[in-house]
């Protein structure tokens, strides 16, 4: 009973925050709604004792991905009115995508296509079973090739992102820390010697003038 109340409460917040992502006018609010959506879905996963998935969702998506997302959204001074201009023209594309998703969901839930019976719901495992160990065993034995393949795809994405930003472009002044550390005094300061008695006497007179003032 208590679990059911929790489930409906979290689901309500999840749906509300998911709507907030697409409805909010301010992109920062959208990003924050997405954070809330991740949190509540993690809570829903905790209810079926999938604690590993729940915590990793918070750790990866809330703790790292969304921080960078917020970072970018806050830095960009997004002009929402100009972004909205193409909205009506490309609306059919959005409707098409929505239709495809709805067809898929009907296929899964109504006609039980693809051999997936989602209507049964997830089965909560007993508390004795270590989620982490089970997932790890499956991931590194049965699904080891897809897993490795996914990591290679991620690596390629990392390399691509770095090559995109590391290209030589005009006006770029990267710091060479080794060079900065290797600097000696002689490179920066030049001691001037032998300016002659004239400079010396003028220096003295300046000093005496200061003394007189004080």
Partner 1 sequence: MADLLAHWDSLPTYLQSTFWILVVTVVLILSVAFTTLWERKVIGWMQLRKGPNRVGSLFGLVPGIFQPFADVIKLLLKEVVIPSASNKWLFRIAPAITLVPAFAAWAVMPLDPALVIADIDAGLLYVLSLTSVGVYGVILAGWATNSKYAFLGAMRSAAQVVAYEIAMGFALVGVVMAAGTLNLGDIIRAQEGGVSNWFFLWLFPLFVVYLIAGVAETNRAPFDVAEGESEIVAGFHVEYSGIAFALFFLAEYANMILISALTAVFFLGGWLSPFEGLLGADSALGAPGFHWLFLKLFFFLTCFMWYRATFPRYRYDQIMRLGWKILIPVTLVWIAVEGLLVYFQVGPWSR
**Residues 108/118, Cβ–Cβ less than 8 Å:** yes
CA angle 119, 12, 92 (to 5 degrees): 75
Q: Measured from the CB of residue 35, what is the shortest distance to partner 1 in angstroms?
A: 7
Farthest CA pair distance, the chain: 104
Stretch that binds partner 1, among 71-79, 142-150, 183-191, 205-213 (CB under 8 A): 71-79
Q: Is 51 in the site for partner 1 (CB under 8 A)?
A: yes
In the numeric block, the tokens 């006497």 are attached to 201
Q: How many residues bind partner 1 (CB under 8 A)?
A: 23
Q: Measured from the CB of residue 56, what is the shortest distance to partner 1 in angstroms?
A: 7
R_g (Cα) of the chain, nearest Å: 31
What residues from 14 to 33 belong to the interface with partner 1 (CB under 8 A)?
28, 32
Among 12, 15, 23, 74, binds partner 1 (CB under 8 A): 74
Among 9, 15, 63, 139, binds partner 1 (CB under 8 A): 63
Residue 108 neighbours by CB distance under 10 Å: 16
Among 15, 95, 99, 130, binds partner 1 (CB under 8 A): 130
Which residue, among 10, 72, 62, has the nearest Cα to 32 in the 3D structure?
62
Interhelix angle 131-141/144-166, rounded to 10 degrees, is 90
Residue closer to partner 1 by CB (options 10, 61) is: 61
**Polymer length in residues for the chain:** 214
Among 24, 48, 55, 108, binds partner 1 (CB under 8 A): 55
Q: Contact positions toward partner 1, by CB under 8 A? A: 28, 32, 35, 51-52, 55-56, 58-59, 62-64, 67-68, 70-71, 74-75, 130-132, 175, 177
């Amino acid at each position: 009973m208590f679990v059911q109340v929790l489930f409906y409460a979290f689901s309500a917040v999840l749906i509300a925050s998911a709507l907030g992502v697409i409805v909010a006018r301010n992109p920062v609010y959208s990003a924050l709604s997405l954070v809330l959506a991740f949190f509540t879905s993690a809570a829903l996963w905790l209810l079926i004792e999938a604690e590993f998935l729940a915590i990793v969702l918070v750790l990866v998506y809330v703790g790292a991905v969304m921080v960078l997302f917020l970072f970018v959204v806050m830095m960009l001074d997004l002009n929402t009115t100009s972004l909205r201009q193409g909205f009506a023209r490309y609306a059919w594309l959005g409707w098409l995508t929505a239709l495809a998703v709805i067809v898929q969901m009907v296929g899964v839930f109504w006609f039980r296509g693809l051999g997936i019976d989602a209507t049964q719901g997830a089965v909560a495992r007993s508390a004795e079973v270590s989620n982490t160990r089970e997932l790890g065993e499956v991931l590194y034995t049965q699904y080891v090739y897809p897993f490795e393949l996914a990591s290679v795809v991620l690596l390629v994405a990392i390399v691509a992102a770095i090559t995109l930003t590391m290209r030589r472009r005009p006006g770029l002044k990267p710091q060479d820390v080794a060079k900065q550390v290797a600097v000696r005094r002689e490179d920066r300061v030049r001691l001037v010697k032998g300016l002659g008695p004239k400079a010396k006497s003028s220096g003295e007179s300046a000093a005496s003038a200061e003394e007189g003032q004080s």
